[in-house]
Structure 1
Amino acid sequence: MSRILYLNGAWLPESEARVSVFDRGFLMADGIYEVTCVLDGKLVEYAGHSARLQRSARELGLTVPLDAEALLAVHREIVARNALDQGMIYLQLTRGAADRDFAYPPAGTPPTLLLFTQAKNVLENKAAERGISVALLPDLRWGRRDIKTIQLLYPSMAKMEAMARGADEAWLVEDGLVTEACAATAHIVTAEGVLVTRDLSHALLPGVTRASVLELAGTHGVRVEERAFTSDEARSAREAFITSATNFVVPVTRIDGQAVGDGAPGALTRRIRDIYIETRRAAAI
């Protein structure tokens, strides 16, 4: 069954959706995106994703063509039109179509706004049950990783390199310090039971799920430290995990082929995942 997409104000079957070859997203990777999880036909953590979209747009001087109320309505409508119970909504916003030039097109150039759905059983996640392995790779991305841009070639390259090494995912490393995964936030739990997550800066994306996990951990008696951690700290951690919008909390059980802790998903990681799903599912809109 063909999905129904939203493209620049129109609802279209995916087979009929068209974007100009001069769109700056295509020519210059000049755009941003957001991914919102859907559970029970409802939007999970929508407010956080909407706020981050606005921040990314401000940082790049992009215009979001819909106001807050209209954008929420489009998200709800695309869920309804595609009868989506579980999965995700992908939103991409570019600067629009203009003749190729490094300089931005004139103000008033219409942006391109696209939304589409992907069905996925986000609750039954085998990776969350068994854990994943990661390979440590150099972080060679651009310097403004705090903006959720569509410049995703290097994370894709790193993902493929990790898979070639027999791992599921990559953790990117800069100056000996872990920044983040290809499309997720990296976390470790020390031998003392402290949850360590890198502090926010231009080096990494301000993850919506990251923020919720840190809040939930703190309210459930877990000590949290927001600081950078080294590759050696990651290898010697008692537990490790990643967080993202559609995978929630997923244990990391091997780093560069070496077992994390006892090599099984950690108790704290499992607990945080359960709490996150329960609370965010109940608060979905």
Structure 2
Amino acid sequence: MKILEKLLSTHALLRRMIILLIIFIWGWIDIVTGYEYSFAVFYLVPISIAAWFDNKKVTIITILVSGLTWLYADFISGHQYKHIAAPYWNAIARLGFFSVVAFLLIKVRENLTAMTRMAMQDNLTTLNNTRAFAIQYQQLREGKIRGRQKIAVALIDMDGFKAVNDQHGHSKGDDVLITFAQVLKSVARSSDIVARMGGDEFIMLLKDTDQKGAEVFETRLREAFLMSGLKRQYGVDFSMGIRIFDELPKNLDDATHQADQLMYQSKAHGKSQTTICMA
């Protein structure tokens, strides 16, 4: 079942071919069995697939094709009506029924997606939270990416953040965290993963990053941070530890602990620094 669900969600062409095939099968069964047996409810199978896995345009097309297929089968089966408008009325009624079911499924899917996003998102910064980061870490480790490549784990902790809360209040502290999160997102590549671990601590997974790549990333982040004005306005900075792995540890805590140790080395050497180390 999970394999089928994955196929339906990731392969658009295959999904749409399956939808058409199911409609064709039910249409053929409708014709063979005649008008005495109704199979209209089974057209909800391709409609449900379209509503759940595809977009609204494809869903509408699926509804129309299903309704027209049923109407064609009804005519071919030789069903006689007392009034010429009766089959068309029935077809419209079925289209309405199909549309209501599809609409409800789409709303359920949208609400589920929104709830999932909220559960995986830090409420303040909109970055990934620790739950989302852990899931993506395991996916990365289990070979969701192709080929062997070095991966860096960067742990970042803000320097002087407590003073912001003490001197300017927690509202301004939240503004600082939001702005810093935007700085991290601005320098992250599309393949990188950024998350807030809690408080003023952040973590990043940098794919395909070696020693030189980590140094380039650190330079870009420092430049973007200075341009943000946070240091000038609030006197904050950040310390960072970057651990580069040939293979990610099985346990996420092991990876974060190693990066955390490097980050504390940076703080011990005067803060506002970065320590990079190969595993």
* TM-score in terms of structure 2 length: 0.22
Larger % of helix: which? 2
Greater radius of gyration (CA): 2
Structure number with greater CO (CA < 8 Å, separation at least 6) is: 1
* TM-score in terms of structure 1 length: 0.22
